[in-house]
A and B are shown apart, each in its own frame.
Chain A
C-alpha cells in the first residue's frame, strides 16, 4: 500500500531529527543538573515583590519599547503594503524580517550606541517587514466590489477610506494586537543586550540566584499579557504613545562620525580597509576563511538544531493541544490548560533557554527544550482551538481512541500547516540562541562583536538572513505540495 505524502513527510522529518540527534551535542555538562531546580521552584512559589518600584519600571519600559516599536513597524508596514507588488519591496521586506530583532539590536548598538532609538528600531525594522507582508495579504483578499459603484472622479484617497479601509480594518486591528503580544516578548529580551527592559533585570536575578525576584518580575509580565485585550484600546493609543516617549526619553547624543565610520569603514571586509593595495586575493582569502571556519559550521549547527527543535515542537504540540480541547477536558480543566499554555508561550524562548542553560550547561539541549516548549505552547493553542470546531457523533469513542481515531486524523493537516509556517520563526530563534553559547550562527556573530569585527558580524548576519529566506521558501513549497493551508495568521 502506498502511503499519503503527509504520512511520508512526517516520518522523514521524525527520522531525520532522530538521526541528527545522534550527532548533536546534547550533553549535560553541569555536575548537579537538578540541584538548582529546587531553588527555582521555591522562587516561583515565593515571589518577592520587594523593590516593586524598580520591577514596575522595568515592566513599563518593556511596554514602552514594545509599543513604540510595534506602532512604528505597523505604520511603516502599512505604507509598504501598498508597494508590495514591486519585487524589490517584497525582497527587502523578506530580508529585514529574516533577521531576528536581537541581531538588529546588536547592529544598531554598534551604529547608534546604547540609547532608546536602538531599542525602538530593533523591533520596528523586522516588524515592518512582517507587517508589510501580512497587511498586503489582507488588502489583497478583501472584497473589491464597493469600488465599482463609486461616483466618477472620486479621489484615490477617498475611495480607499470608504471602500477599502472599513472592510480590512478589523483584520488589521486583530493582527496588530497579536503582534503587540509578540512585541512585548521581543522587548523583554532586548534587556539581555543592555537595554533597560525586563531581560536586563532577569539576567542579573538569574546570575545571582535571586529566583524569587525573577519570579515576581515574570508574574508581572504574564499579568500584563493576559490582560492585553482590556488595556490595549484603540482610543488610548495616543496616550500610550505619549507615555512611552516620555518613559524611554533620555538625552541622546548621536555621533555622526560613528555612524559614518560604521558604514564606510567598520563593515568593509578588513582586507579592503587601510592600504588600497590589498587586492582581490586577500579579499577572497578573508571571505573563504570566514565562510569555512564560521559561516559553514554555524549554518550546519543552525540547521541541525532547527530540525530537531521543529520535530520536538511538533511532538510537544500533539501532547499539549488536548489541554485546551473540549473533546478531552471539561470547562475547568480547559481553563487550567489555557493558563498553562499562556504562561509557557508568554515566556520568551530566549529566557527559557537561559534558564535551562543554568541547569544543564552549554549544549544544544537547553535550546531544543526551550524552543519545543515555547513553540509547542503556541501551536498547541492554535490546534486546540481548531479542534474545538470539530463536531463528533454522540457515540464517538473516548480517551486515547478518540485522540487517535477521531481527532488526530482531522487536525493533522492543520497541525502540519501551523508547524511548517513556524519553521522559519524557529530557525530565527535557533540562530539567536547562539549568543547563549550553542554554536549556531548567533555564536559566531556574538564572537565577532566581542572582537569588534563588524565586517564579520555583517557577513554572518547576512548569511543567517539568506538561510532563513531559503528555509521559508522551502517550507512554502512543502506546504503547497502537501496542500496545507492555515486558517490563522501565525508569525
Chain B
C-alpha cells in the first residue's frame, strides 16, 4: 500500500510550470529527503503531496504559518483544533484550562521552549519560531509529517535534535532540505529535484555529500 503516488504529474502557477512530469510513490514508514537548489520545486512538491493526503498528515511549512500575536501555547494547540468543538476552541482562545496547558507542555519541552508557553510568538527569535512550528506538528501527531526546511533557522546541534524528534514521532517523514550532509544522516531515500524534474531518486546509503556537488553546481 502506498501513501503518496504521483504519475506524470504537472503543476503550474499562472501558466508557468513548476513541476514537470513527476512520477514517484512513497510507502508508509519511509524517511525521504527532497534535495535540490532553491526554486527546484521542493515546496510545490510537498504541497502537492499534502493535497493528495491531508488527513492524518502534519505540515511544517517553510514560512512557519504561525499567528504572531497568539502565545506559543495557542499556536501549538492549533495542531489539534480539529479534535475539539468550535465552542471548546473559543473558550481555549479566551482562557486555556490547566489540563490543556499541561498537554502541550511535553511538546514544548521536547523543542526547548517550556519557558515560553505564554510568550507571543511575535516576540520569539526566528529559530524559536521554527521550533514552535515543529512543536505544533508534534502535538498534532498522526502517521505522516511533511516538513519544508524545518531546521533552516536552527543551530546545527539543535537541528539534529529536531530532526530526531520528527523521525521518532512520525512513521513516515518527508523533508525538504538544502543541507545535504544533514539530509544524508537522517533520510533513507534521497530525491533530487532540479527545474521541476526528478533528477535522481535512490536510497541514501553509499552516497557521500561530495557526490552531489556536481548536482548543485552544474547548470
Binding site for B on A (CB under 8 A): 145-155, 157-159, 161-163, 166-167, 169-170
Q: Quick check: is B208 within 8 A (CB to CB) of the other chain?
A: no
Interface residue? B54 (CB, 8 A): yes
**CA of A146 to CA of B79 in the docked complex: distance in angstroms?**
11
> CA A212 – CA B54 in complex, angstroms?
71
Q: Does B199 contact A (CB under 8 A)?
A: no
Q: Which single residue of chain A is at the shortest CB-CB distance from B68?
A: A167
Asked if B157 is at the interface of the complex by the 8 Å CB criterion, the answer is: no
Residues of A within 8 A of B136 (CB): 149
Q: Please list the residues of chain B having a beta carbon within 8 angstroms of any beta carbon in chain A.
A: 54-61, 63-70, 74, 77-84, 86, 89-90, 93, 133, 136-137, 140
B57 touches A152 (CB 8 A): yes
| Chain B residues, Cβ within 8 Å of A170 | 69
Can you list 12 A-B contacts (CB < 8 A)? Answer: A149-B65, A151-B80, A152-B57, A155-B81, A161-B86, A162-B77, A162-B81, A162-B89, A162-B93, A166-B67, A166-B74, A166-B93
Per the bound structure, the CA–CA distance linking A454 and B83 in Å amounts to 57
What is the bound-complex CA distance between A166 and B57, given in angstroms?
Answer: 25
Q: Find the A residue at minimum CB distance from B120.
A: A166
Q: Which single residue of chain A is at the shortest CB-CB distance from B142?
A: A151
Report yes or no: B81 in contact with A166, Cβ–Cβ below 8 A: no
Are B59 and A149 neighbours in the complex by a CB distance under 8 Å? yes
B90 x A161 contact (CB < 8 A): yes
Asked whether B80 lies within 8 Å of A157 as measured between CB atoms, the reply is no
**Closest partner residue, chain A, to B88 (CB atom):** A158
Collect the chain B residues with CB atoms within 8 Å of residue A146's CB. Answer: 65-67, 78
Contact of B69 (CB < 8 Å), options: A147, A148, A150, A166 = A166
Task: Assess the A145–B65 pair: CB atoms within 8 A.
Answer: yes
CA distance A166 to B66 in the complex (A): 11
Which listed residue, A152, A157, A159, A166, touches B54 by the CB 8 Å rule? A152
Contact B59 A148, beta carbon cutoff 8 Å: yes
Give the complex CA separation of A169 and B66 in angstroms. Answer: 16
Partner of B79, one of A145, A151, A157, A161: A151
Using Cβ atoms and an 8 Å threshold, which residues of chain B touch A153? 55, 82
Say how far A451's CB is from chain B's closest CB, in angstroms: 53
Q: In the assembly, what is the distance between CA of A119 and CA of B138, in Å? A: 54
Contact residues in A for B63 (Cβ distance below 8 Å): 145
Give Cα distance in the complex from A170 to B137, angstroms: 27
